[in-house]
Structure formats: structure tokens, C-alpha cells
Amino acid sequence: MTDTNLQILRSRLQQGQDLVVLTGAGISAESGVPTFRGQDGLWRHYRAMDLATPQAFGRDPRLVWEFYQWRRQLLAPLQPNPAHQALAALEARLPRFTLITQNIDGLHALAGSRRIIELHGNIWHLRCTGCGQVREDRRLDLPPLPTCQACGALLRPHVVWFGEMLDPAVLAAAYAAVETCDFMLIIGTSGLVQPAASLGRLAKQRGAFVAEINLEPTPQSDFYDLSLQGKAGDLVPQLLSASG
């Protein structure tokens, strides 16, 4: 059944003029990125969800930064997988393409994607708690409490923590892309995390063809036009022939 659905997906992609892709943790897991759920969510005796909060940073920024430095060191040697690379190739071939990701690992950019909306931020970007300046910094030897070069205030990871709202401008850009697309591909998401989980439904309501690639069905699968089960690294590269 997967082969038949893949042919349908290829055919629809050939017809599409405006593609939006939404990616979640599943695509990065194939590169070795931990999901930080279950046992992967433990660091020392802390749960990741207890450290990735504004409250934790306010109480003990040194501890939170130590946790994020550990995460950066885990991510540093990892490379984009065939699914990341295929999406970058699709972007290069299609006139209208937007990649929306829930991932903070920066692997899409490493693969060559450029039209990226990072809903939850980027772990390789630092944001000043004083002036708000954001800059990329891939050093693995940051000071225990890094400070802003512009104003001297404490820096924090430029990621959306539990209990924080998404950047309104970033979210607005994602909604704008979804509302005008005619084809949406959702890859490696649980279909549970809002507001990302609602983007596929919005695209469908606006008339787009919506397809999902995931290891298993999600709570959103029945609302989409097509749901393929399998590894993104296997299935996404097979779509390349549809764009040429």
C-alpha cells in the first residue's frame, strides 16, 4: 500500500505550485537526535521538562546553561540525514516552498534549506535577556554564564521553553504559508503539540492536499488526504523525482 500511496503523493506534488513542509522530532531522530522523552529525557537526576522553563532559568541559570551545553555537545557531531537533504533539494527545485519545523537542532539549515520557519527556535542561537539581540554561536566552550557583547546582560538559549508563547511573528509567518499553499507534507510529528498540530487541518480547510509521513499513525492522520507509515529517510528522497 505504501508504494501506491507514494505514487499518489508524487503525482500530487507534480501538480502543486506552493509546497509547505512541517517537520517534527521524528525526522531528526533518524540523525541520532534524542527526543528527550522517556529515558532520553533524563539528565543527571533532572527531567528535561523541569529544566527547559523560564522558572528554572530564573532560579539557576548556571544549571540550565550546563544542561544546554550538554545538549549542544550531543548535537554537534550529528549530520543531516537523507530526508533533510531531500527537502533541501526540493526547495531548490520548487518556486514556492516553505519549511516549518518544530526542531531546534539546526539540521535543516546544515542540509542546505534556506526558507525555514523555526517554530521553537534554534539551540545554536543565543538571545540576550536584556536587549533581546539574537545571534548564532556554535561554540562548544561557552562561558558557564554567557553574556551579551552589546549590553553585557545574560544570554539564554533562543528556544521556546515550556510555559512560553511562540514568537507571534514566527507563528504568523507559519500561518500565512499554510493558508496559501496547495500541498502540505507533514513529516515525523506526533500530531499532539499545538499549535503545530493544527497547521495540517488549517491547510486542508483552505483546500490544500495534505499528506503525512510518520512511523505510525497520529491523532491527525484521519483528517489528512494521505498517511504513509515508514522512515522519512527512506520515503522523502523518493519524492525527488516528482519535482524535476
b/e per residue 103-125 (b: at least 16 CB within 10 A)? bbbbbbbbbebeebbbbbbbbbb
Q: Residue 147 belongs to a domain with what CATH number?
A: 3.30.1600.10
How many Å apart are CA 46 and CA 51, to the nearest integer? 7
Same domain assignment for residues 27 and 68 = no
Full domain range(s) for residue 26: 2-33+78-120+165-242
Same domain assignment for residues 87 and 132 = no
Q: Residue 184 belongs to a domain with what CATH number?
A: 3.40.50.1220
Same domain assignment for residues 45 and 115 = no
Please state the φ and ψ torsions of residue 169, each to the nearest 5 degrees: -70, -40
pLDDT tens for the 244 residues of the chain, in order: 568 888 999 998 888 889 999 999 999 999 999 876 655 556 777 887 889 999 999 999 999 999 999 999 999 999 999 999 999 999 998 999 999 999 999 999 999 999 999 999 999 999 999 999 999 999 999 999 999 999 999 999 999 999 999 999 999 999 999 999 999 999 999 888 899 999 999 999 999 999 999 999 999 999 999 999 999 999 999 988 755 5
- Catalytic residue at 120? yes
Same domain assignment for residues 133 and 234 = no
Same domain assignment for residues 116 and 219 = yes
| pTM (two decimals) | 0.94
Same domain assignment for residues 28 and 132 = no
Domain count, the chain: 2
CB atoms within 10 A of CB 210: 27
Please state the φ and ψ torsions of residue 179, each to the nearest 5 degrees: -70, -20
Domain boundary among 159, 176, 208: 159
Same domain assignment for residues 26 and 84 = yes
Peptide bond into 217 cis (omega under 30): no
Distances 156 to 171, 231, 238 between C-alpha atoms, Å? 21, 34, 39
Catalytic residue from among 108, 120, 125, 158? 120
Same domain assignment for residues 144 and 231 = no
Same domain assignment for residues 176 and 237 = yes
